[in-house]
Structure 1
Amino acid sequence: MRATSQTSVAAASERWEPVLRASGERARQFGEQLFAVADTLGESASLRRALGDPARDGEDKSRLVASLFGARVEPEVVDLLGGLVRSRWSSDEDLTEALEELGASSVLAAAQSRGELVQVEEEIFLVDRLLARERDLRLALSDMEVAPQRRLALAGTVLGARVLPETRLLVERIVLVRRESSLTSALRRVGQLAAARRSRLVATVTAAAPLSHAQEERLAEILRRAYGQAVQVNVGIDPAVMGGIRVEIGADVIDGTVLARLQDAQRRFAG
């Protein structure tokens, strides 16, 4: 998203957050409804253009939203939609993307209301790590030519029966309607949203062997000092890195693995 759309999403999130805090588990229903509205916009370019048109009066767009969705979604969601369409967007696709993000945040808020947000975050991370390792599984879930029900069935096999309902909903949503460049990037985005709800950044750490609890705590403290806020450290294991660790925080990558140093040495020797 470009700056105009990012500003609109941030403003909508700020207005929406008190509603989520007051709604408890109803927030999951709000999320499902926002996903449904996003689907409607995704299927209709003309509606998307009408609602994202900066030349069209904002109140007119708000009335259009109320007439289309007022009987299908909760009043709180109608109010949110009205504010969204009155805002300015860099492109009409950004409005759909904003609905996805607000929907995911709503689902996460439901888990948070029960004190289970951390568990959802951990479950999402485990799915992300599994797909990062299992290329064939990742490709099968990513293939939009495969019937949706087959992909959902496969996702259900991956998740098993014991994950929280919010985890299942979010993973199935990503599998069915992926708007990020890849499944893993979409999962990481949800993880970032979960961490943000706890006022934390997410550090995805890849190591050749598991870190001890003390090592994780030490790394989290180093990153906290570097970034100026608490950091959630999620560790994935990849023997191919041979030694050292690779840390990803947003767009920042700190690669201190043996493999990276060997590759750098090879480049220097060749060049």
Structure 2
Amino acid sequence: MRGETSLNSDRCAREKFAPMLREANVQAGVVSSELFDFANLLDSNPRIERALTDPSRPASDKKELVDRLLEQSGALPLTKEILEDLAQRGWSKVEHIANAVEDLAVDATLYYADVKGVTATVAIELAKIHSAFLNMAQVRSRLSDTQVSADTRIKFLKQLLAGQRLNPLTLVLAEHATRDLRNRRFLSTLSWLINEISRHMGEQVVTVVSAVPLTREQFSGIISAYSAKLGRPVHINSVVDPKVLGGLRIQFGAEVHDNTVVAQLQQLRRKVGVSA
């Protein structure tokens, strides 16, 4: 939970740099990568976080520290401007500045996705990954395991996704979700990213898994029901998976409603196991 000061600083920075990231075109992708790297640097160096958020330290000193940290990196001017701006804002807790850097890294990724025309595709593919791993407890555990290195988690994720024709930006965000756990679980980060894309697009992605293709009536009914429920336009991502046997699994963000036959059978097995 972020304090009011941090929320205000984060919001103002994102509003300020949104038009610049939009105009950055393909360079937004470079800015994104550089910001993700800096967020990781902050997470690994609490002393730097404290120095950049110390209210008693002059803003000019914080700006100079950012410049020194970026001196050898060859970072783009826009990346430097964003980080200097964040360093001069107020934060309720020291770790909140890293949250803001991550937020702007995601924003930059999505503006780059807009340039490539793949924003909705990335949202749908992340939702598919989330849905695929939802009932795989061991997989989720390994992707969120802080006892192993980030490289080990990323290698495991790549093995899981091998052969899938995923957009490169989907892979960037999925790998970020397991590389930089930041006291989160892998699926929680995926849900957050999907929600961020929905906010960016101005519509909610709703993933519907069914054993057979949805009928036109089902499609229209789900759009109508969830547009009213969520108070915004929805984009339906229809996934056909014969293994669910029947019924529907509907997911938006972190919320999942599963009334598929396979889910009901699993629930019945658990109840029988408990009774036994």
1:8 corresponds to:
9
1:55 corresponds to:
56
| Alpha-carbon shift at residue 34 of structure 1 (Å) | 0.5
2:274 corresponds to:
none
5 Å-filtered alignment, 1:230-249, equals 230-234=233-237
What one-letter code is carried by the residue in structure 1 that aligns with 2:82?
L
5 Å-filtered alignment, 1:198-213, equals 198-203=201-206, 211-213=214-216
| Alpha-carbon shift at residue 158 of structure 1 (Å) | 2.1
2:109 corresponds to:
107
What one-letter code is carried by the residue in structure 1 that aligns with 2:221?
R
In the alignment, is residue 163 of structure 1 matched against residue 191 of structure 2?
A: no
2:195 corresponds to:
192
5 Å-filtered alignment, 1:2-151, equals 2-72=3-73, 73-151=75-153
The 1:231–1:180 alpha-carbon spacing in structure 2 relative to 1, beyond 3 Å, is farther
1:266 corresponds to:
none
The 1:81–1:123 alpha-carbon spacing in structure 2 relative to 1, beyond 3 Å, is same
CA contact (8 A) 1:204 1:234 kept: yes
CA distance in 2, matches of 1:205, 1:7: 35
CA distance in 1, matches of 2:249, 2:155: 35
2:272 corresponds to:
none
CA distance in 2, matches of 1:172, 1:135: 18
Q: State the Cα deviation string for residues 65-93 of structure 1 (Å, max 9, x = none).
A: 12221442111011111111111111111
5 Å-filtered alignment, 1:210-229, equals 211-229=214-232
CA contact (8 A) 1:21 1:109 kept: yes
CA contact (8 A) 2:194 2:253 kept: no
CA distance in 2, matches of 1:2, 1:68: 27
CA contact (8 A) 2:207 2:236 kept: yes
What one-letter code is carried by the residue in structure 2 that aligns with 1:218?
G
Per mean C-alpha deviation after superposition, the further-off stretch among 154-163 and 86-95 is 154-163
| Alpha-carbon shift at residue 229 of structure 1 (Å) | 2.2
CA distance in 2, matches of 1:21, 1:9: 18
Identity among equivalent pairs (%): 25
| Alpha-carbon shift at residue 244 of structure 1 (Å) | 6.9
| Alpha-carbon shift at residue 245 of structure 1 (Å) | 6.2
Query: TM-score scaled by structure 1?
Result: 0.82
Q: State the Cα deviation string for residues 108-166 of structure 1 (Å, max 9, x = none).
A: 22121111111111111111111112222111222122233332221112222521211
Unaligned runs of 5+ in 2: 269-276
CA distance in 1, matches of 2:172, 2:206: 24
CA distance in 2, matches of 1:31, 1:59: 25
- Alignment partner of 1:92: what SS? coil
RMSD: 3.0
CA contact (8 A) 1:209 1:239 kept: no
CA contact (8 A) 2:62 2:88 kept: yes
Per mean C-alpha deviation after superposition, the further-off stretch among 33-42 and 145-154 is 145-154
| Alpha-carbon shift at residue 212 of structure 1 (Å) | 3.7
CA contact (8 A) 2:124 2:207 kept: no
Aligned residues: 260
What one-letter code is carried by the residue in structure 1 that aligns with 2:159?
T
CA contact (8 A) 1:180 1:186 kept: no
CA contact (8 A) 2:113 2:119 kept: yes
CA distance in 2, matches of 1:248, 1:122: 11
2:273 corresponds to:
none
CA contact (8 A) 2:195 2:253 kept: no
